[in-house]
């Protein structure tokens, strides 16, 4: 591909062209290889224009920059090297990447999920529904990336545009016709998803999170709403929206104003696609899926009311993608567990339940604890909740999470959860503000492994231990290092130690 072909359709302020061959595109100078275009753009924490010389030294074929100063400097020092000045670096990155990877997005039906909670589970469920109907899929999300049958690690919920288009291209090469992706509010606000056409857009819910970035809930909502307007692309063909969420009505209005077909789901009368006659128990969620096209019983091995919403959202999207009610009902019975989302840790002989979950907002924590209470209630068991709050994130939710945990739990263990550059003790103290208002018994143990041991060893027969906050994550992030850490592995080790003792050590 020639330089001019790579810039086809890209809006530029000024450019100097040369007939050079282009092999690829990169935004990270450390990954540049001979023949790549380097897109130098300003980011939140660094400015890629600082690394143009490095990219050139590694063999960059040309430069796209959002800095007039960098453009002029490149023209003066390398007068025969192609360079383009653009107003929006991330938009240019997406447009160049689409050209370089031969527009794979045009050969995929893309469904995207946004919302505070439930994105990952809903995306996983939709992938399983589509695969059950014989579709080959790409999944891009928080836990991992799937390209047909290949599983890859995920560094971000929504990657930069170059990496998205590369994954799309890999999917097309593997025979994929469908893509399911999580779209974070950060990615929407920063336009990492520029020019990606959505066939189906899903909204799960909106509760407080990421105010360290968005500052206000209104700005947080507007970032989510951009997905339903189209970010450099047409508005989605179908918008699947939670009618029970307070923001649902406004989002439906926005979607309809943009020409999308709206499928509203929920438990209340405002939803066109509803769950009726709900029956919940451990390892089983059963309801009637009532739709304008008919009603079908849904029986799944998932647990809890929150998964009714996740199932509804994924089922609506599956209908929008052409599956029948019968196909959805059949697939629902065989759905697999999502890592780190109400993941039950095998407890062996110990007569307690231990669950690892990603809940990291007060709303998610409240829902998790309510589910725990529902499961142990008939047996008179207690709910023991372990959690912490991440450093360098929204501080205002810390006391709210403390209060949410305290209001629903019998015992709380407060610990550390990715403190990053902050002092873990100060984070815990801010959490304790909400707990002290309730008088619920609380144990503080900064060391997360020690805290997990305390929580499990405090449990008696019939209790449930909820280990919240990290879910699928495999590391603990500190100011000066990132260390391997897995809640499931630590909990499994503690339970194994308990099971070495003859009988149940917690029944004495």
Annotated binding site for meso-2,6-diaminopimelate: 393, 417-420, 469, 473
- Among candidate residues 323, 252, 319, the one with its CA nearest the CA of residue 291: 319
For residue 338, the 8-state DSSP code is P
- Among candidate residues 281, 459, 453, the one with its CA nearest the CA of residue 377: 281
- Among candidate residues 291, 293, 315, the one with its CA nearest the CA of residue 302: 315
Spatial contact of 232 and 191, defined as CB atoms under 8 Å apart: yes
Cα 57 from chain centroid (whole Å): 36
- Among candidate residues 468, 370, 361, 416, the one with its CA nearest the CA of residue 119: 361
- Among candidate residues 178, 173, 191, 172, the one with its CA nearest the CA of residue 231: 191
Q: Residue holding tokens 């505070």? A: 116
Sort 344 into a burial class: Cβ within 10 Å, 0-12 / 13-18 / 19+: middle
- Among candidate residues 359, 368, 353, the one with its CA nearest the CA of residue 465: 353
Calpha distance 95→231 (Å, rounded): 12
- Among candidate residues 353, 419, 349, the one with its CA nearest the CA of residue 382: 353
- 45 CB contacts (<8 Å, ≥6 apart)? none
- Among candidate residues 443, 444, 428, 304, the one with its CA nearest the CA of residue 366: 304
DSSP line for 29-88: GGG--TTEEEEE-B-SS-BGGGGHHHHHHTT-SEEEES-HHHHHHHHHH-TTS-EEE-S-
Q: Which residue numbers belong to the known binding site?
A: 29, 115-121, 157-158, 184, 190, 192, 393, 417-420, 469, 473
CB burial of 398-426 (b: ≥16 within 10 Å; e: otherwise) equals bbbbbbbbbebbbbbbbbbbbbeebebee
Calpha distance 89→48 (Å, rounded): 10
Q: 501: part of which helix (H) or strand (E)?
A: none
Q: At what angle do helices 119-132 and 325-332 cross, to 10 degrees?
A: 110
- 293 CB contacts (<8 Å, ≥6 apart)? 319, 325
Calpha distance 276→217 (Å, rounded): 31
């Amino acid at each position: 591909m020639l330089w001019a072909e790579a810039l086809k359709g890209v809006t530029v302020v000024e450019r100097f062209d040369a007939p050079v061959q282009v092999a690829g595109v990169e935004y990270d100078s450390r990954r540049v290889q001979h023949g790549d275009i380097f897109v130098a753009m300003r980011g939140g924490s660094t400015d890629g224009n600082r690394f143009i010389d490095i990219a050139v030294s590694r063999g960059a074929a040309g430069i796209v920059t959002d800095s007039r100063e960098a453009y002029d400097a490149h023209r003066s020092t390398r007068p025969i090297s192609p360079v383009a000045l653009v107003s929006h670096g991330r938009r240019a990155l997406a447009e160049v990447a689409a050209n370089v990877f031969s527009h794979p997005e045009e050969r995929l039906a893309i469904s995207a999920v946004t919302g505070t909670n439930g994105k990952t589970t809903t995306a996983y469920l939709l992938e399983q529904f589509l695969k059950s109907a014989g579709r080959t899929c790409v999944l891009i999300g928080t836990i991992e990336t799937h390209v047909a049958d290949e599983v890859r690690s995920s560094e971000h919920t929504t990657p930069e545009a170059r990496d998205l288009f590369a994954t799309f291209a890999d999917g097309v090469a593997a025979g994929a016709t469908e893509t399911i992706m999580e779209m974070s509010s950060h990615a929407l606000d920063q336009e990492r998803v520029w020019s990606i056409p959505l066939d189906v857009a899903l909204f799960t819910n909106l509760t407080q999170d990421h105010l360290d970035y968005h500052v206000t809930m209104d700005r947080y909502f507007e970032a989510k709403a951009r997905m339903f307007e189209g970010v450099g692309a047409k508005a989605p063909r179908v918008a699947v929206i939670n009618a029970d969420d307070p923001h649902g009505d406004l989002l439906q209005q926005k979607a309809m104003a943009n020409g999308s077909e709206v499928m509203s789901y929920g438990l209340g009368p405002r939803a066109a696609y509803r769950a009726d006659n709900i029956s919940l128990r451990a390892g089983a969620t059963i309801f009637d899926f009532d739709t304008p096209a008919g009603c079908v019983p849904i029986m799944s091995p998932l647990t809890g009311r929150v998964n009714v919403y996740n199932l509804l959202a994924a089922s609506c999207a599956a209908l929008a993608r052409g599956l029948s009610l019968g196909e959805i009902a059949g697939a629902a019975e065989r759905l697999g567990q999502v890592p780190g989302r109400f993941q039950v840790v095998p407890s062996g002989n110990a007569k307690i339940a231990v669950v690892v979950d990603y809940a990291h907002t007060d709303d998610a924590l409240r829902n998790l604890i309510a589910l725990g209470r529902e499961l142990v209630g008939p047996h008179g068991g207690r709910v023991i909740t372990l959690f912490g709050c991440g450093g360098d994130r929204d501080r205002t939710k810390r006391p709210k999470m403390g209060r949410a945990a305290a209001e629903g739990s019998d015992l709380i263990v407060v610990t550390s959860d990715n403190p990053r550059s902050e002092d873990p003790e100060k984070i815990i103290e801010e959490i304790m503000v909400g707990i002290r208002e309730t008088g619920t018994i609380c144990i503080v143990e900064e060391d997360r492994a020690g805290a997990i041991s305390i929580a499990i060893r405090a449990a008696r027969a019939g209790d449930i231990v909820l280990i919240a906050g990290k879910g699928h994550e495999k590391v603990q992030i500190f100011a000066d290092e990132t260390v391997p850490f897995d809640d499931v592995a630590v909990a499994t080790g503690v339970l194994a130690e308990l099971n070495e003792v003859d009988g149940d050590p917690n029944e004495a």
